[in-house]
Amino acid sequence: MKEAAGPVKEKAAPEKVIITDKPTKAGTDGPVLPAGTKLVIAADRYSIDVELPAGSTFIENGPLTNSTQPVGVATYRCICSGAGSACQVFYSDAGGFGCFHSSCTGSCEGAFTYKGYVMNRILPTTKSDFFADAGVQDKIAAQFAIVRRSDGASRSGNGKMVYVKQSLYGVSYYFLMNENELRPDEVFEVFASSKAVCDCEGTKACVLKALGLATDKAATPATAGKIYYCDGPCNGCELTVN
- What is the reported pLDDT for 221? 42
At residue 1, the pLDDT reads 41
Instruction: Give yes or no for a contact between 210 and 128, defined as CB atoms under 8 angstroms apart.
Output: no
d(CA 107, CA 79): 8
CA distances from 187 to 34, 105, 170, 174, 218 (A): 39, 52, 19, 15, 20
| 52: number of Cβ within 10 Å | 21
Go through 56-79 and write b for each residue having 16 or more CB atoms within 10 A of its CB, e for each that does not: bbbbbeeebeeeeebbbebbbbbe
Which positions ≥6 away from 80 have C-beta within 8 Å? Answer: 86, 87, 101, 102, 104, 105, 106, 107, 108
Q: What is the pLDDT of residue 27?
A: 72
Rounded Cα–Cα distance for residues 186 and 67 (Å): 23
**Which pLDDT value is given to residue 2?**
44
Stated pTM of the model = 0.75
Q: What is the pLDDT along the chain (242 residues), one digit of tens a residue?
A: 444 455 545 667 877 899 999 998 887 777 889 999 999 999 988 899 999 999 999 987 665 555 556 789 999 998 888 876 678 898 888 778 888 877 788 888 888 999 888 888 899 989 999 999 888 888 898 888 888 877 655 555 577 899 999 988 888 999 998 888 888 888 889 999 888 889 887 777 899 999 888 655 544 444 447 899 999 888 778 888 87
